[in-house]
Amino acid sequence: MGTQHEQIQELPARAVPLMSFPDGAVYLATYYGNTLLLQPADGEESSAGWKLYQQSGQLKLEWTDSRSGMPDTSELLAALEASFTSCPNHHKLNLVAPVGQADELLQSGVLLRGENDQLTVYAELFWQQSRIWLASPQPYAFPPSYVLSHGRRHPLRRPKPIGTVYRRYIPWLDQTLSFRAINIGHDLERFSRWMNDPVVAQAWREDGDLVKHKTYLEGIAADPHVIGLVGCFNDEAFGYFEVYWAKEDRIAPFYHADDFDRGWHVLIGEPRFRGKPFVTAWMPSISHYLFLDDCRTRHIVIEPRADNHKMIRSLAKCGYANLKEFDFPHKRAMLGMLLRERFFAERLWIPRDAIVTSLSATPF
C-alpha cells in the first residue's frame, strides 16, 4: 500500500480566481497545488488554511490553519462552492474541519454526519442552499393562503423583489452572472431598444415606442404572478427575463400545474451575448434561481414555439424534457419541463456538453 502522500492527487495552480458570494460576503478563491487560498473582497487578510485533494478515490477538503482556530461559516461555504466548481464531476466531498455552527449546517443540509463523525457535503444538497446565490434569501417560506385570480385558485404570492436577486460566478466565462429586478425608470430605454431589435421583435412581437413599452412594463409590475428581471454579465445588462407562477398563467390549462411551479420567458437584447457560451451560463442559472427562490418549487415549465428547434435543443441539454406540443391562440408551442430532482441530482447547473475550459486541466 502506498503512503498517504502518494495517494493524494493535486489540483493545478489557477491563473484566474473563482468567486463566491455566501451570506452577502464576496470571496476570491485561488488554487496553488492542493492549497486553496481564500481572499475576502473587503480587504481582510487571506486565508491559506484549506487543502483540496483526492485521496483513496474520495474528494477531501481539509482545514489546516491551526492558528485561526476555525473558519467563519461564510468562508466555509465559499470553500465548498470553490471545491465543487473546480471538481464538477464529484457528487460529494468529505470535510475535515472544525465547524462553529455545525448544528445549523446539519439542520439545513449543508453537512451530513456519517460514521466516525465524518462530515460529508453532497453537491445535490449544497447547490440548494439559497444563502450562497440569492442576494436576499428568505429565512422561511411564505405561508400558503389561497386566493382567486381570474377564476383560478392559487397561493397568495409574496411581494416582488427589488434589486439584485441572484449572483453566480461562471468559471468558463470568467464572469459573474446576475439577475436583478427590472426598474422602469432606469431600464425603459434599454428595454425599448431590445424590443425593437429585429431578432427580438420577430419572436416577441412587441416592437413599438417608449410609451408602449412603459405601459407593458407597468402591466408586468402590477401583475403579482410575473416578475421582470434583467440579466447581467459583470453588471452589463444583456437580456430580459420574465419569470412567472404557472398556476395562474396562461399555461396552466395545458398541464396539471402545482401550486409552486414556475416558468420563464427570455430575450437576449445585446447581440454579442447571443450564442452557446452565454446560453450555457444563463439557461441553467435562471432554472437554479427559480428552484432556490422557493424550496417548494418542484417543476419549471417553458413553452417555446414548436418550430424553435435551436431553443428546444438547448433546453434539452439543460435537463428540460419535451412533454407535448399544444396550441396557444398565437402559436403552436412545445411544453418543456425541468424537474427539481433531476436538476440537482444530475448537477445540471453546468450543462452536460458545456466546454468548461477553465476546468479542463483538473485531474479529478
For residue 256, the number of C-alpha atoms closer than 13 Å in the C-beta half-sphere is: 1
* pLDDT for 160 beyond 80: yes
Which carries the bigger pLDDT value, residue 187 or residue 102? 187
Active site residue 44: no
The neighbour count for residue 113, using CB atoms within 10 Å, is: 11
Rg (CA), the chain: 22
What is the grid cell recorded at 233? 454579465
Out of 81, 248, 303, 346, pick the active-site residue.
Answer: 303
Span 238-271, pLDDT tens digits: 999 999 999 999 999 999 999 999 999 999 999 9
Domains in the chain: boundaries: 4-126, 149-359
pTM metric for this prediction: 0.92
Which carries the bigger pLDDT value, residue 363 or residue 240? 240
The fourth-level CATH superfamily of domain 149-359 is: Gcn5-related N-acetyltransferase (GNAT) (3.40.630.30)
Give mean pLDDT, residues 58-72: 85
Confidence of residue 353 (pLDDT cuts 50, 70, 90): low
What is the pLDDT, as a whole number, of residue 280?
Answer: 96
Q: How far apart are CA 86 and CA 52, in angstroms?
A: 10
What is the grid cell recorded at 182? 427590472
* Same fold yes or no, 4-126 and 149-359: yes
Which has the minimum average pLDDT: 12-16, 108-112, 258-262? 12-16
Average pLDDT of the chain is: 90
What is the pLDDT, as a whole number, of residue 35?
Answer: 87
Q: How far apart are CA 343 and CA 165, in angstroms?
A: 20
Spell out the long-range contacts of 179-182 with Cβ–Cβ below 8 A and sequence spacing 24 or more.
179/229, 179/230, 179/231, 179/232, 179/241, 179/285, 179/286, 179/289, 180/229, 180/230, 180/232, 181/227, 181/228, 181/229, 181/230, 182/217, 182/220, 182/228, 182/229, 182/230, 182/240
Confidence of residue 56 (pLDDT cuts 50, 70, 90): confident
Please give the CATH topology (third level) of the domain spanning 4-126. Answer: Aminopeptidase (3.40.630)
Residue 337 per-residue DSSP state = E
* pLDDT for 362 beyond 50: no
What is the pLDDT, as a whole number, of residue 16?
Answer: 56
- The percentage of residues in the chain with a pLDDT greater than 90, rounded to a whole number, is 73
What is the pLDDT, as a whole number, of residue 47?
Answer: 67
Q: How far apart are CA 221 and CA 161, in angstroms?
A: 11
What is the pLDDT, as a whole number, of residue 361?
Answer: 38
For residue 247, the number of C-alpha atoms closer than 13 Å in the C-beta half-sphere is: 19
Give mean pLDDT, residues 221-245: 98
Span 187-216, pLDDT tens digits: 999 999 999 999 999 999 999 999 999 999
